[in-house]
């Protein structure tokens, strides 16, 4: 089992007939669910998980949660993963909750907000664009920053073999190049993240492959229908817009009319590099 966040209770929650998630829970009051990104686990929230009733699962396919075989793209669609999170919250008695996600977890959070607006009261997304927009803004050599997405979008077999041949190099590269402050992820925790990712190559690839297939279909359908995120939404983001040539706030506002968008100066792993900024943003969000 992975290390634990001190003071948290750990449980397994069944979200489907063959899938259970490992979930860390602490605190009291109104619920906030925190979703981790790649290549991490729920431990990325260890500096942020302080206020409210805090629920931190390992996503399906990650950490100590179950990793079902991806018989098709739907197994790791953000729609299915979002439904997992709604089930987790309800298992603790919460039909409505605030939701924050980072990286892959933010994509799950967006889909939860679109599919379950009756459940998600507030939404925070850290350092992503919605899936469809992500693919639309990457062009030419500037898209090299997302090389891992293109690799894992390939048909089953090739990316699993390439990444599986040297997973620590692959996932270590993501950790090292996306991190501005190396001290934010100390060596022992870096190894925890690498070990968790090493053990989850097929499911991590399946999660990312879904974002090049079925997740795009779901986003396109919502865009065509004019479906938006009705809840107060906060986005914290590096200045990818100026780097890649797009208006990040405008992209987000098309999905989230009640948007507050902030550009931050830290690296990608902001919950670990700038936790006070993230905590302040989440506290402000839940007051809206």
DSSP character for 58?
P
103 an active-site residue?
yes
User: Taking a C-beta distance cutoff of 8 angstroms, is the pair 118, 86 a contact?
Assistant: no
Q: What is the end-to-end Cα distance of the chain in Å, rounded?
A: 37
122 an active-site residue?
no
User: Taking a C-beta distance cutoff of 8 angstroms, is the pair 114, 222 a contact?
Assistant: yes
**Annotated catalytic residue, options 103, 115, 207, 222:** 103
3-state SS, residue 188 = helix
45 token code pair: 């929230």
220 token code pair: 């396109």
**Annotated catalytic residue, options 36, 52, 261, 268:** 268
Give the span between the Cα atoms of 18 and 84, in whole angstroms. 12
3-state SS, residue 282 = helix
Which active-site residues does the annotation give?
A: 103, 268
């Amino acid at each position: 089992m992975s290390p634990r966040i001190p003071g948290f209770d750990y449980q397994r929650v069944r979200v489907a007939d063959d899938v259970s998630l490992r979930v860390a829970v602490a605190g009291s009051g109104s619920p906030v669910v925190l979703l981790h990104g790649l290549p991490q686990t729920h431990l990325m929230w260890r500096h942020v998980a302080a206020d409210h009733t805090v629920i931190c699962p390992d996503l399906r396919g990650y950490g100590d949660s179950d990793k079902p075989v991806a018989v098709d793209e739907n197994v790791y669609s953000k729609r299915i993963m979002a439904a997992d999170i709604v089930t987790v919250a309800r298992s603790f008695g919460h039909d409505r909750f605030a939701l924050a996600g980072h990286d892959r977890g933010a994509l799950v959070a967006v889909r939860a907000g679109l599919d379950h607006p009756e459940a998600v009261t507030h939404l925070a997304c850290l350092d992503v664009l919605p899936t469809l927009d992500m693919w639309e803004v990457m062009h030419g050599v500037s898209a090299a920053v997302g090389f891992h997405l293109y690799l894992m979008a390939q048909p089953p077999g090739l990316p699993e073999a390439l990444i599986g041949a040297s997973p620590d190099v692959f996932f270590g590269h993501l950790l090292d190049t996306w991190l501005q402050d190396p001290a934010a992820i100390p060596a022992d925790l870096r190894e925890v993240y690498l070990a968790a990712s090493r053990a989850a190559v097929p499911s991590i690839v399946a999660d990312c492959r879904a974002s090049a297939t079925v997740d795009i279909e779901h986003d396109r359908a919502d865009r065509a229908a004019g479906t938006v995120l009705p809840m107060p939404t906060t986005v914290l983001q590096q200045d990818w817009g100026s780097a890649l040539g797009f208006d990040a706030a405008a992209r987000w506002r098309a999905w989230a009319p009640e948007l507050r968008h902030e550009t931050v100066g830290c690296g990608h792993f902001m919950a670990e590099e700038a936790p006070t900024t993230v905590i302040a943003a989440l506290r402000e969000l839940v007051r809206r």
